């Protein structure tokens, strides 16, 4: 039987697996050998919704500003969302599945040879706590800390555009500063995003998939209302409390909040893309009373359906 081989991505060819390029150019593959930086958003480069198991032969640092996804790093699983800094070391088996249709942030990749050029301590990089084998690979950031790291990534993007003989050295110094800043945050236990078990991740993934499938059935008129939390738990063969506790531990939010946000997001889509009345949209989403739908929408989105529609120019 032919042995299956796990693909190894190179620093100058991984973009095709990770990203779908849009109208602008946000990558800089020719700036410095062994270094690249990409901004991800709707106007430049968008992340693909999934990547199957693969290996990297380089280091990667990603700043997630917006978006959510289930990431598998080695034997560990993480549910990552906005305001997160994550680190991937070479030869770490990696895969992911996005849980949102959008992602915004930055991705910086570099080789060990690039980083260590001119440095005396060649082991410093690999000995960082987030690059160690079995280390914790993700840090939760405050909004202020996210802005700080975003500014560092933007500085690197601007410098990479210079493409002169000083650029590699300057980028190397900026990268060192970024890692020093991350190292300073690491000792604080509140910054570390804890690993979760495969069972917890699978339960969360199944719940979120069921939520999306249920909403699709509702939109098609195949069901009249979204299932209750008890119904969700029964389908997953767990108690409601266990389901809630698990999903909150993995994502930081209880199960019910995911349902509310998903419903509100689809309501916003209908308000923006159709000419249906508020009552028709409320009925489509399983609300028996349009005034209750209006209160629900304002609580979730911070604006009334009518005001949102006016802002969208409908």
> Which CATH number fits the domain that encloses residue 284?
1.10.10.60
> Do 134 and 275 lie in a common domain?
no
pLDDT, averaged across the chain: 83
The answer as to whether 144 is a domain residue is yes
Q: Give the count of domains, the chain.
A: 2
> Do 161 and 295 lie in a common domain?
no
> Do 180 and 286 lie in a common domain?
no
**pLDDT tier, 291 (very low <50, low <70, confident <90, very high otherwise):** very high
Higher-pLDDT residue of 291 and 163 is: 291
- How confident is the model at residue 230, as a pLDDT? 93
Collect all residues with Cβ–Cβ distance below 8 Å to 147 and sequence separation of at least 6: none
> Do 33 and 166 lie in a common domain?
yes
**pLDDT tier, 286 (very low <50, low <70, confident <90, very high otherwise):** confident
Tell me whether residue 300 is exposed, middle or buried, using C-beta atoms within 10 angstroms of its C-beta: 0 to 12, 13 to 18, 19 or more: middle
The answer as to whether 285 is a domain residue is yes
> Do 260 and 292 lie in a common domain?
yes
Whether the pLDDT of residue 32 is over 70: the answer is no
- How confident is the model at residue 119, as a pLDDT? 85
Does the pTM surpass 0.85? The reply is no
Average pLDDT estimate for 179-205: 76
> Do 213 and 133 lie in a common domain?
no
User: Dihedrals φ, ψ of 223, to 5°?
Assistant: -135, 155
Q: What percent of the chain lies above the pLDDT cut of 70?
A: 87
> Do 98 and 50 lie in a common domain?
yes
Which of 169, 191, 213 terminates a domain? The answer is: 191
Whether the pLDDT of residue 70 is over 60: the answer is yes
Which of 191, 226, 249 terminates a domain? The answer is: 191
> Do 138 and 252 lie in a common domain?
no
Domain span at 293:
198-311
| pLDDT 10s digits, 115-137 | 999 888 888 988 888 886 555 68
Whether the pLDDT of residue 84 is over 90: the answer is yes
Which of 162, 191, 220 terminates a domain? The answer is: 191
The answer as to whether 1 is a domain residue is no
H-state helical runs in the chain: 15-18, 112-116, 143-160, 167-185, 198-219, 229-236, 240-251, 255-273, 278-284, 290-301, 305-311
Kindly tell me the number of DSSP H helices and DSSP E strands found in the chain.
11, 12
What count of other Cβ atoms lies within 10 Å of the Cβ of residue 189?
7
Average pLDDT estimate for 128-154: 85
We report the CATH number of the domain holding residue 52 as 2.60.120.280
> Do 128 and 227 lie in a common domain?
no
> Do 240 and 291 lie in a common domain?
yes
| pLDDT 10s digits, 209-237 | 888 888 878 877 788 888 999 999 999 99
User: Are 63 and 41 a contacting pair, CB within 8 Å?
Assistant: no
Average the pLDDT over each of 130-139, 196-205, 302-311 and give the range with the smallest value: 130-139
Whether the pLDDT of residue 44 is over 90: the answer is no
Whether the pLDDT of residue 97 is over 50: the answer is yes
User: Dihedrals φ, ψ of 66, to 5°?
Assistant: -140, 150
> Do 306 and 213 lie in a common domain?
yes
> Do 233 and 261 lie in a common domain?
yes
The answer as to whether 221 is a domain residue is yes
């Amino acid at each position: 039987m032919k042995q299956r081989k796990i693909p190894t991505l190179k620093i100058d060819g991984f973009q095709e697996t990770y990203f779908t390029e849009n109208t602008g150019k946000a990558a800089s593959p020719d700036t410095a050998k062994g270094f690249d930086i990409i901004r991800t958003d709707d106007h430049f480069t968008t992340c693909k919704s999934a990547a199957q198991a693969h290996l990297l032969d380089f280091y990667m640092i990603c700043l997630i500003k917006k978006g959510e996804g289930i990431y598998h790093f080695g034997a560990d699983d993480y549910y990552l969302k906005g305001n997160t800094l994550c680190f991937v070391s070479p030869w770490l088996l990696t895969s992911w599945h996005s849980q949102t249709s959008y992602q915004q942030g930055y991705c910086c990749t570099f080789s060990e040879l690039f980083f260590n050029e001119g440095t005396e301590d060649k082991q410093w990089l690999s000995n960082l706590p987030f690059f160690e084998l079995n280390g914790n690979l993700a840090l939760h950031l405050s909004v202020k800390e996210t802005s700080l790291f975003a500014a560092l990534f933007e500085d690197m993007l601007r410098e990479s555009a210079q493409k002169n003989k000083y650029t590699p050295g300057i980028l190397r110094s900026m990268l060192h500063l970024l890692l020093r800043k991350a190292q300073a945050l690491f000792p604080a236990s509140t910054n570390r995003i804890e690993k979760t078990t495969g069972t917890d991740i699978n339960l969360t993934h199944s719940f979120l998939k069921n939520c999306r499938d249920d909403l699709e059935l509702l939109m098609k008129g195949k069901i009249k209302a979204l299932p209750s939390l008890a119904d969700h738990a029964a389908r997953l063969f767990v108690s409601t409390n266990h389901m809630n506790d698990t999903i909150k531990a993995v994502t930081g939010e209880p199960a019910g909040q995911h349902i509310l946000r998903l419903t509100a997001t689809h309501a916003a889509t209908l308000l923006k893309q159709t000419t249906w009345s508020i009552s028709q949209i409320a009925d489509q989403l399983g609300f028996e009373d349009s005034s209750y739908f209006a209160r629900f929408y304002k609580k979730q989105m911070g604006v009334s359906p009518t005001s949102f529609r006016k802002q969208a120019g409908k």
